[in-house]
């Protein structure tokens, strides 16, 4: 089990270029753009959402990944949550492998119970532009995500835009996330802390 720690910032679409230029100047890197297609699964009764967890299948240029996350905590844009992620052979979940990896029994029990009824509920399709930032002795992956959330609800296609910055701690002290976010916000004043995950955005489309 890993614990993911990241700060998420809502990025106004008209400030995307300014944020990109800031990261390029800060890192002397052009940024690496990666298309990511993500499918989220739950039962029709939203059993995983009620258990405060999320199940995702992601297609990357390198192949397929499945990820199971707990909601964890989020405050002032800082998200901390348990995460289990692994490659899979193709565009299908491998639940047994996740259950073997999941070492939190309440989370594993929720997934085990939901497994027979899982259906795809919504997608998030976006381009992630990545920079690697060394900041006060910490290694941070910075990313700008631009795309949309898409859900099919009773034959209706519902969409919501995605435009956000994620600062994920890879190594070092968590305080580095806060100081880097403050430095960034000083240069891009339109940024605001965002406590809503991509999965939560998809669930909100279901409820609308």
Q: According to the model, what pLDDT value does residue 73 have?
A: 57
Would you say how long the chain is, in residues? 208
Number of domains in the chain: 1
For residues 30 and 87, give the distance between their C-alpha atoms in angstroms, rounded to a whole number.
Answer: 28
Which residues are bridge partners to 164 per DSSP? 10, 145
Confidence band, pLDDT 50/70/90 cuts, at residue 118: very high
Q: What is the DSSP letter of 1?
A: -
Q: According to the model, what pLDDT value does residue 105 have?
A: 87
CB 145 within 8 A of CB 164: yes
Q: According to the model, what pLDDT value does residue 72 have?
A: 63
Read off the pLDDT of residues 13-35 as tens digits, 9 standing for 90 and up.
999 999 999 999 999 999 999 99
Q: Is the pLDDT of residue 36 over 80?
A: yes
Read off the pLDDT of residues 132-187 as tens digits, 9 standing for 90 and up.
999 999 999 999 999 999 999 888 999 999 999 999 999 999 999 999 999 999 99
Task: Note down the domain range covering 192.
Answer: 2-207
| CATH code assigned at 54 | 2.40.320.10
- CB under 8 Å to 161, separation ≥6 — which residues? 13, 147, 148, 149
Q: According to the model, what pLDDT value does residue 154 have?
A: 87
């Amino acid at each position: 089990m890993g614990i993911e720690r990241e700060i998420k910032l809502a990025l106004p679409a008209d400030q995307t270029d300014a944020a990109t230029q800031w990261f390029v100047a800060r890192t002397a890197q052009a940024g690496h753009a990666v298309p990511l297609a993500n499918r989220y699964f739950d039962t029709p009764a939203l059993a995983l959402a009620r258990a405060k967890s999320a199940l995702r299948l992601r297609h990357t240029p390198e192949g397929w990944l499945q990820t199971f996350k707990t909601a964890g905590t989020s405050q002032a844009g800082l998200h901390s949550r348990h995460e289990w992620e692994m490659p899979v052979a193709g565009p299908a979940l491998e639940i047994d492998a996740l259950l073997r990896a999941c070492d939190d029994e309440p989370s594993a029990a929720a997934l085990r119970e939901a497994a027979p009824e899982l259906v795809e509920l919504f997608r998030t399709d976006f381009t992630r532009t990545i920079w690697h930032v060394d900041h006060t002795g910490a290694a941070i992956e910075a990313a700008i995500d631009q795309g949309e959330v898409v859900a099919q609800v009773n034959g209706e296609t519902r969409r919501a835009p995605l435009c956000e910055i994620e600062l994920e701690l890879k190594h070092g002290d968590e305080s580095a996330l806060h100081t880097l976010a403050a430095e960034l916000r000083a240069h891009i004043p339109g940024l605001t802390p965002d406590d809503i995950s991509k999965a939560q955005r998809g669930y909100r489309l279901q409820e609308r």
